Amino acid sequence: MTLQERDKNAVWHPFTQLKIAPLPIAIVKGEGAYFYDEQGRRYIDAIASWWVNVHGHCHPYLTKKISEQLHILEHTLFSGFTHEPAVLLAERLLDRLPDNQSKIFYSDNGSTAVEVALKMAFQFWSNQSADKTKVIAFENGYHGDTFGGMSAGARNAFNLPFAKLLFDVIHIPVPVKGKEQQTLDALQTALKRDDIASFIFEPLVQGAGGMVMYSAEMLDELIEQCRVAKVITIADEVMTGFGRTGKFFASDYLTHKPDIICMSKGLTGGVMPMGATSCSQFIYDAFWSDDKMKTFFHGHSYTANPTACSAALASMDLFDKPEAFENIIRIEKKHNLFLQKIKSHKALIEVRQLGTIIALEIKTNDYTHYLNSLAENISEFFISKGIIIRPLGNVLYILPPYCISNKDLEYIYDAVEEFLSGLQ
């Protein structure tokens, strides 16, 4: 039996209608920006393996540091116990995070980093006997696939079977160009209520919603209004963190900093599953008490897994070298040149770019987003070119590992142009 046949017999894949989907490509090796399949075919990982990879696959330094950790301490419980990698990583994350962040809470993926943030905000209020249980979030957002994350996110085909089970969230428009006033008005109306616990948002870029972008000035304004209204602000930096937007965090573009920040994807360099939620001192203080009922009762078996921490620490070492941001800026410039070249193309509605992310919104008759057939055609076309690109509906985007070469970027841009010219 081939690997693909054995897979079909035993495995259930995410986001996939297995009855009609083509068989998955079996990847046997990763190296830098490349994957290799069973037949030895090479693919450029143009979307950083679902936005997690930053320094490239099987980076020798990450591999070495993780393997060293595995010989010392692979895992330990984290309630009543601690270890050097978790403490050091918290210190180093706090060094990089906005100044108002003062504690790190570990979990094990992006959805749990968001659940932790939402629960922290809800309990912040309940610990003070305040009845605040409503959340404000942007329309079109994505915050993960657990129930809290789904509730905060856009209501769409992906969570329709669970629609009745999700908690109530006030969704306000995304402040894209031209909609700023609509957003401000909607926020103002929402903030008149006295039961708002928190406002959660993907800062500057809505990833899964189609790489939708909005300005730092607008977000600054919204955060400031929440602060005045005493509503906790939560930046879901799961996709935007770790250099993706051209700065270490998207929050670094802001003057007003969020109270809570969620991290995952790039945290371990894209090697180990891990989540982290940071918070301001005033949040932590609301749980600091002689009353055991004010404890934050949340945790996961693999909270602060030392091996994952060692991967994150090694990734932070690489970020401390000048090459990391040199690469990020190099990609940013290349993307921008391509944007200038392609933006007036007849097949396109709009091209958006921030940092290492470039997104092309393609004209189509079918705007059902993820589930439309254009997306399948795009994936197939690029696979035939040896490029891994999985569009978000009619939004084709490139979000590469930072080690990708200029030559590979140009090869991808050429393939994109070839694809677009085939649409007419």
The smaller minimum CB distance to ligand PLP, of residues 48 and 191, is found at 48
Tell me the closest approach of the beta carbon of residue 421 to ligand PLP, in angstroms.
31
* Sign of the CA dihedral with 96 first, then 97, 100, and 106 last: negative
Tell me the closest approach of the beta carbon of residue 189 to ligand PLP, in angstroms.
25
Q: Which two tokens stand for residue 278?
A: 């940071």
Selected binder of ligand PLP within 45, 115, 202, 361 (CB under 6 A) = 202
Part of the chain binding ligand PLP (CB under 6 A), chosen from 200-208, 253-261, 310-318, 416-424: 200-208
Selected binder of ligand PLP within 111, 225, 280, 353 (CB under 6 A) = 111
> How far is residue 381's CA from residue 375's CA, in Å, rounded to a whole number?
10
Under the binding rule (CB under 6 A), the answer on residue 375 touching ligand PLP is no
Site string for ligand PLP, 221-260 (x = CB under 6 A): ---------------x-xx---------------------
> How far is residue 226's CA from residue 199's CA, in Å, rounded to a whole number?
8
Under the binding rule (CB under 6 A), the answer on residue 144 touching ligand PLP is yes
DSSP classification of residue 24: P
Under the binding rule (CB under 6 A), the answer on residue 302 touching ligand PLP is no
The bridge status of strand 196-201 relative to strand 205-206 is unpaired
Selected binder of ligand PLP within 32, 85, 98, 110 (CB under 6 A) = 110
Tell me the closest approach of the beta carbon of residue 388 to ligand PLP, in angstroms.
17
The smaller minimum CB distance to ligand PLP, of residues 107 and 280, is found at 107
The smaller minimum CB distance to ligand PLP, of residues 111 and 233, is found at 111
197 Cβ partners below 8 Å, 6+ apart?
A: 121, 122, 124, 125, 132, 133, 134, 135, 231, 232
Tell me the closest approach of the beta carbon of residue 211 to ligand PLP, in angstroms.
11
The smaller minimum CB distance to ligand PLP, of residues 127 and 315, is found at 315
Contact indicator for 260, 232 with CB cutoff of 8 Å = yes
Under the binding rule (CB under 6 A), the answer on residue 143 touching ligand PLP is yes
The smaller minimum CB distance to ligand PLP, of residues 69 and 111, is found at 111
Residue nearest to ligand PLP (CB): 110
Q: Give one DSSP letter per residue of 354-376, joined into a string.
A: ETTEEEEEEP-S---GGGSHHHH
Part of the chain binding ligand PLP (CB under 6 A), chosen from 105-113, 115-123, 244-252, 302-310: 105-113
Alpha helices by DSSP H, 262-372:
281-285, 306-320, 322-342
* Residue environment code for 293-332, b if the CB has 16+ CB neighbours within 10 A, otherwise e: eeebeeebebbbbbbbbbbbbbbbebbeeeebbebbebbb
Part of the chain binding ligand PLP (CB under 6 A), chosen from 4-12, 107-115, 182-190, 364-372: 107-115
* Backbone φ, ψ for residue 199 (5° rounding): -125, 120
Under the binding rule (CB under 6 A), the answer on residue 207 touching ligand PLP is yes
SS3 133: coil
The smaller minimum CB distance to ligand PLP, of residues 316 and 357, is found at 357
* Residue environment code for 349-385, b if the CB has 16+ CB neighbours within 10 A, otherwise e: eebbbbbbbbbbbbebeeeebbebebbeebbebbbeb
> How far is residue 169's CA from residue 137's CA, in Å, rounded to a whole number?
7
Tell me the closest approach of the beta carbon of residue 108 to ligand PLP, in angstroms.
8
Tell me the closest approach of the beta carbon of residue 337 to ligand PLP, in angstroms.
27
Q: Euclidean distance between the first and final Cα of the chain, in Å? A: 42
The smaller minimum CB distance to ligand PLP, of residues 127 and 206, is found at 206
Tell me the closest approach of the beta carbon of residue 208 to ligand PLP, in angstroms.
6
Q: What is the gyration radius of the CA atoms in the chain, in angstroms?
A: 21
The smaller minimum CB distance to ligand PLP, of residues 243 and 408, is found at 243
Applying CB under 6 A, the residues found at the interface with ligand PLP are: 109-111, 114, 142-144, 202, 207-208, 236, 238-239, 264
